[in-house]
Amino acid sequence: MQCSITEEANGMPRKVVLRLARDEVARVAYSFPCWDVLNRRGRGMVRYATPLEFRLTEREMARYKPPLEEHLKILGLVDKEGKPIYRAVVVSNRNLGNNLGYVSYDRLKSPKLFHLWGEPVDRWAYKCFLVGVKGGFEIAWLRFEEERVYRVEGPDGREGEEITDEVDWAISGCPLVEEGRVMDIRKPKLLRYFYDIRHVFFFSLTDPAEEEILYKLYEGFPEDPDSFGRNAARLFGKRSRSFYLHTCLALTETEVLIVQAAGKLEEVGELLVAEGAEEAIILDNAGSCFIYVTLSPERWGFLSVAPGWRPPTISCLAFVLHGSIPSKRSGRAE
């Protein structure tokens, strides 16, 4: 495991890069304890209605965000006293369950596919980090038909290879890097996955006029889910871009890259490509971003947290490493 941290003059982390050799990873697990409660019934944080409804649903979602300590127990990474028993890297994954545009799949769940109410799973494919039943992992575009999984080409891919029997679990993220190149998020079919569009464009929400512009972007949603991407794409060149911290998961042929970087999305993508990323997705944004490591029973803690970090976490991923502390072989947290 290798780590590099670059800081801005004001002390804010500009870039945190954690490199894990693929053969260093014993297993990958996720924690998402509200799967059954929210699946297909929950609406997450409703951004397409009114500012009041958004604030109400944001408050409601707080009940589904336990502290990290609970996730570590669910993941089996700590003992009863909270001390680590496995070497691991844990990263935030707070878009899942909070926002539309994100799904998850688990072959042992029933139903196997998680999505919020209104998610257009019958129309879209999703760029996912997937873990195979034999333990390997990759990032690929997947299309879901209830119990079946297909590897497809791109966000509108329909025909593809069925890989249902090969997938243990999968979690989607915002598409950012593909085949070693930064993806063009100006395209509506990619921009539609950035449901919290504030991570792309700057809006001053203390100004009622700005707030009205923001909510108009969601007109027609969720009845016409593609309308959001088309509406938002018209803002390029007309509105200032946002500068946020992003938690990214990237893969090379030999490594897993866990990266937190601040900047416009394209800038973050360029940083990932410069680090060797072939495929990459964004798991989290802004004040909920963190990287937590457990290295030994005596050494554990946060490697990086966002300025103004919000501790409660709806979901996270753990890369459990081989080493002197024994590791389980199971690929999920029960």
pLDDT tens-digit series, residues 83-113: 888 899 999 999 999 999 999 999 999 999 9
d(CA 160, CA 162): 6
Contacts (Cβ under 8 Å, ≥6 apart) of 269: 176, 177, 182, 183, 280
Note if the pTM is more than 0.85.
yes
pLDDT tens-digit series, residues 191-207: 999 999 999 999 998 88
The whole-number pLDDT of residue 8 equals: 63
The whole-number pLDDT of residue 89 equals: 96
The whole-number pLDDT of residue 299 equals: 73
The whole-number pLDDT of residue 50 equals: 80
Please give the average per-residue pLDDT across 148-154, as a whole number: 96
pLDDT higher than 70, residue 330: no
Q: Which tokens sit at 105?
A: 């799949």
CA 289 to chain CA centroid, nearest Å: 10
Q: Quote the mean pLDDT of the chain.
A: 90
